[in-house]
Amino acid sequence: MADTIKKIGVFTSGGDSPGMNAAVRSVVRACAFHNIECVGIYRGYEGMIDGDFITMNARSVKGIINKGGTILKSARSKEFRTKEGRKKAHQQLIKEGIDALVVIGGDGSFTGAMIFNQEYGFPVMGIPGTIDNDIFGTTHTLGYDTALNTVVEVIDKIRDTASSHNRLFFVEVMGRDVGHIALNVGIAGGAEEILIPEEDLGLDRLVESLRRSKKSGKSSSIVVVAEGDKIGKSVFELKDYVDQNMEGYDVRVSVLGHLQRGGSPSCFDRVLASRMGVKAVEGLKEGKSNYMVGLKNDVIDLTPFDQAVKGKSKINMELLRVSDIMSI
């Protein structure tokens, strides 16, 4: 198999995350090191269908390791979800002489790659890029560490205002189905409560907890809410409920939104991206396919796509216990 991999295509798909550019850089330079041609594919699967390709070499990726977002752009492709769309994509890859693919993205991107591999036997390797850290088979996805640092910095600034005005702030962070970001930044930012999808605190328990905090002498509070939390229909519903059932706080809401996904990647994410890119290329070179590159116990390892897609990343229960103790 090693001799048959002459040209590798690399693309970013789904949402962007800090570290994607560093991963593209790593894939391109690992290809150059092993004398494999590398082709960048713009706009993910959509660009693959359109044949939107660019030849890349070691110099093509200079000066991008520190940049957030993705120079290859990203897009969702409805057409690739159809057999006809995947057939067009395959024809474009064969026409370009591409032998294998490295996809940098999340579970949706990996599902597409897995189906493509099943239909055409096309070698694929995945690198997890999403700030939510919601992919099984890796302790860290690209962008997660950067997002944590970004959010903690914002919470520190919000606390300055909260303490100055005796305010209660609900700070909503990303985390559609998992509370990794909320739990970690809540502890690091000294939040009084952390609301995550994995733990249903309940509105009454939330108010009771806030009352205890106020009785203990706290004049301001920060509550970190994962966007996928199930207590209320929205963070604004939480605000209204607390307004109606608790006196003495001026309640405000801060939805951090997409600022969490931007910015220059942290040192950790840059190093992780570099390690993952090398592993992806060398894995393909060794004849492996249909795997996701992940970090396990500080070792770069491979997880089959079907496990990465179907498995569920679990919240750290020790952190939940720590958060309860810290909020006293």
Q: Which residues are catalytic?
A: 132
Torsion of CA 213, 249, 232, 145, to 10 degrees: -70
Tokens of 272: 């992780």
Report in angstroms the alpha-carbon separations of 153 from 20, 225, 228, 238: 22, 16, 22, 24
Report the alpha-carbon distance of residue 143 to residue 265 in Å, rounded. 7
Using CA atoms, how far apart are residues 246 and 215, in angstroms rounded to an integer? 12
Residue 247 neighbours by CB distance under 10 Å: 8
DSSP 142: B
Instruction: Calculate the alpha carbon distances from 199 to 112, 179, 205, 322, 326 in Å.
Output: 31, 9, 12, 14, 17
